[in-house]
């Protein structure tokens, strides 16, 4: 019996299969800050202006790179370069030969399990064009770079911030 596409090597996926790996959490759409000296990356609760903060999904995914020129495309050639992808990201997990978690829509069959597991940014962030006028450092949060306790696969349970 052939493996489901999400268990096959990334290089064997077609475009539709690659796109289906995305769980729609919206974490990659959050602005990040990098410390120039240490290289440490931190997330903020500020989202791209195209993110629908109620759903955690891009409001214009098909045309996002034209409307937001610095929107990065994650593909088979760039996934290894983007070490900032959240630890819950299916692209990151599969690139590291890890299985998808049970809450992923491809496993659960339900896109709402991403939100129920506490992985989605829906209802937790604000778009950059609707944000209060504060210094960026005031928007820093740590949760996008962590596995929510309830969402961790059994093998990842334990440390509060697994790598």
161 within some domain? no
Quick one: tokens of 43?
Answer: 């997330």
Domain that holds residue 131: 5-148
Tell me if 153 is assigned to some domain.
no
Task: In whole angstroms, give the CA distance from residue 11 to residue 154.
Answer: 27
**Of the candidates 15, 12, 54, 49, the residue with the CA atom closest to the CA atom of residue 30:** 49
Print pLDDT tens along the chain (163 aa): 889 999 999 999 999 999 999 999 999 999 999 888 998 889 999 999 999 999 999 999 999 999 999 998 899 989 999 888 999 999 999 999 999 999 999 999 999 999 999 999 999 999 999 999 998 889 999 999 899 988 876 654 444 444 4
Query: How many domains does the chain divide into?
Result: 1
Best CA proximity match to 128, nearest among 114, 142, 139, 144: 139
Question: Bridge partners of 42?
Answer: 33
Whole-prediction pTM? 0.86
C-alpha triplet 146, 91, 144: angle, nearest 5°: 20
User: Does a structural domain hold residue 43?
Assistant: yes
162 in a structural domain: no
How many whole angstroms separate alpha carbon 37 and alpha carbon 93? 28
Determine the straight-line distance between the first and last CA of the chain, rounded to whole angstroms: 33
Q: Tell me, yes or no, whether 158 lies in a domain.
A: no
- Distance of CA 47 to CAs 26, 35, 95, Å? 8, 19, 25
Q: Is residue 116 included in any domain, yes or no? A: yes
Q: Is residue 154 part of a domain?
A: no
């Amino acid at each position: 019996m052939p493996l489901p596409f999400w268990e096959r090597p990334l290089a064997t996926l077609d475009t539709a299969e690659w796109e289906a790996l995305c769980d729609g959490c919206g974490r990659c759409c959050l602005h990040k800050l990098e410390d120039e000296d240490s290289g440490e990356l931190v997330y903020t609760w500020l989202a791209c202006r195209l993110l629908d903060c109620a759903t955690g999904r891009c409001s214009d995914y098909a045309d996002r790179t034209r409307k937001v020129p610095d929107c990065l495309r994650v593909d088979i050639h760039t996934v290894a370069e983007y070490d900032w992808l959240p630890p819950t990201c299916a692209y990151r997990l599969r690139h590291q030969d890890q299985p998808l978690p049970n809450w992923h829509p491809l496993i659960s069959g339900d896109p709402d399990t991403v939100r129920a597991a506490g992985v989605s940014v829906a209802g937790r962030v604000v778009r950059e064009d609707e944000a209060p006028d504060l210094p960026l450092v005031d928007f820093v949060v740590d949760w996008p770079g962590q596995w929510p306790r309830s969402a961790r696969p059994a093998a990842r349970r334990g440390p509060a911030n697994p790598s």
